[in-house]
Amino acid sequence: MPASTKITFYDLICNHPEKRSTSPFTSKLRYILNYKQLNYTTQWLQLGEIEPLFKKLGIPHTAVMPDGSLKYTVPAIMDETSKEPVLIADSYEIAKYLEKMYPDPERAVFPAFPSGSSSTASVQMTPAMHALVEKHFYTTIYPVLRGFVMWGIWEAQTDGSRGVWLSRVGGDVANIPRVPASGTEERKEAVGKLRDAFQGLGDAIEQNTEGVWFMGSRPTYVDFVCLATLMLLKAHGEEGMWEEVKTWEGGRWEAYVKAAEPWLVIV
Ligand SMILES: N[C@@H](CCC(=O)N[C@@H](CS)C(=O)NCC(=O)O)C(=O)O
């Protein structure tokens, strides 16, 4: 039964017809909120609205820029379930908070043991280990993925976000990283690199015999990281890219996304 929580979830607005976020960080958290069946409403923000609103509300920054300025980012949540509202930013910190505040052994994203598992029950993954695997995504997959999604992300920006976004690429769309045109050797090479990076993940999933998820029969934090990455490619990737991904590893990634469908809804 859904928990009667009162949570405001801050996400980045874009002009995708299904409002599929251009942020894998907010997508991951949205899927976790859905999976854990927590009640929440979304407040959609344009890029330039994040900092002034968060400063006003008291939502903390998540990074310090090289020039010393503070960086405010989505996702963030305001949890007003209890008398004292809780304001929290950073997707991993929010996920840990939700797990602690609203524990549900059936829907744990950081289970103490692989859920539904008996034979591999000695394998334990702490939140810090999940974070380590997540880092692997950002250092291994994302550098290759960027060229396939950045143009789509740019195109999905709302008018109100475009100015801020463009200033980050030196004011010139020509600086947005893109993969070489289809049919070229360079493009084939880039696709091959991405396929290999995903193959590594597929091999890890293959290690368990109990389900389609990394740790067995139920998804855990790293699955939501993986789902957000795949959905970024599906919603904002270059045309034809998702069709190609669907053919990899006997259709593993299409089936993986399909299995997660109930948690991918946007509310
Ligand atoms: N470590 C943060 C990173 C979040 C992040 O970088 N969010 C981006 C959107 S993808 C953001 O809000 N950027 C605001 C800006 O660039 O001004 C998390 O996991 O939540």
> Is the same domain home to 82 and 139?
no
The whole-angstrom separation of Cα 14 and Cα 12 is 7
* Ligand 1 center from residue 89 Cα (angstroms): 9
pLDDT reading at 219 higher than 70: yes
- Which residue's CA is minimally distant from atom 10 of ligand 1? 23
> Is the same domain home to 137 and 185?
yes
Signed CA dihedral, 62, 66, 68, 72: sign only:
negative
Query: Residue 196: pLDDT band by 50, 70, 90 thresholds?
Result: very high
> Is the same domain home to 86 and 188?
no
> Is the same domain home to 78 and 140?
no
- Which residue's CA is minimally distant from atom 11 of ligand 1? 73
Residue with tokens 């970024």: 232
Total structural domains in the chain?
A: 2
User: Please, what is the average pLDDT of the chain?
Assistant: 92
The whole-angstrom separation of Cα 235 and Cα 230 is 9
Residues 6+ apart with CB under 8 A from 189: none
pLDDT of residue 108: 94
* Ligand 1 center from residue 133 Cα (angstroms): 18
Number of neighbours of residue 267 by Cβ within 10 angstroms: 11
Q: Give me the torsion for CA of 161, 163, 166, 172, rounded to 10°.
A: 140
> Is the same domain home to 133 and 243?
yes
Structure tokens at 193: 């690199």
With a 6 Å cutoff on the Cβ, whether 73 touches ligand 1 is: yes
* Residue-range definition of the domain harbouring residue 48: 3-107
pLDDT reading at 173 higher than 80: yes
* Ligand 1 center from residue 217 Cα (angstroms): 30
Q: What pLDDT, in 10s, does the model give residues 147-158?
A: 999 999 999 999
With a 6 Å cutoff on the Cβ, whether 22 touches ligand 1 is: no
> Is the same domain home to 8 and 101?
yes
> Is the same domain home to 181 and 218?
yes
pLDDT reading at 120 higher than 90: no
Query: Residue 20: pLDDT band by 50, 70, 90 thresholds?
Result: very high
The whole-angstrom separation of Cα 164 and Cα 220 is 34
> Is the same domain home to 220 and 133?
yes
Q: Which of 53, 72, 107 is at the close of a domain?
A: 107
* Ligand 1 center from residue 219 Cα (angstroms): 24
Domain of 169, CATH number, reads: 1.20.1050.10
Q: Which of 58, 79, 107 is at the close of a domain?
A: 107
Burial of 115 (0-12, 13-18, 19+ CB in 10 A): buried
Does 115 map to a domain? no
**DSSP-based three-state secondary structure for 39:** strand
Does 112 map to a domain? no
**Local structure of residue 125 (DSSP, 8 states):** -
**Local structure of residue 254 (DSSP, 8 states):** H
The length of the chain is: 267
pLDDT of residue 119: 47
Does 120 map to a domain? no
Does 16 map to a domain? yes
pLDDT of residue 181: 85
Q: What pLDDT, in 10s, does the model give residues 29-71?
A: 999 999 999 999 999 999 999 999 999 999 999 999 999 999 9
In sequence order, what E strands does the chain have?
A: 3-12, 38-45, 63-64, 70-71, 76-79, 86-89
- Which residue's CA is minimally distant from atom 20 of ligand 1? 90
With a 6 Å cutoff on the Cβ, whether 137 touches ligand 1 is: no
Q: Which of 78, 107, 136 is at the close of a domain?
A: 107
Q: Which of 25, 134, 142, 158 to mutate to test the pocket of ligand 1 (most atoms within 8 A of CB)?
A: 25
Domain of 86, CATH number, reads: 3.40.30.10
> Is the same domain home to 99 and 208?
no
> Is the same domain home to 151 and 51?
no
Q: Which of 27, 65, 74, 236 to mutate to test the pocket of ligand 1 (most atoms within 8 A of CB)?
A: 74
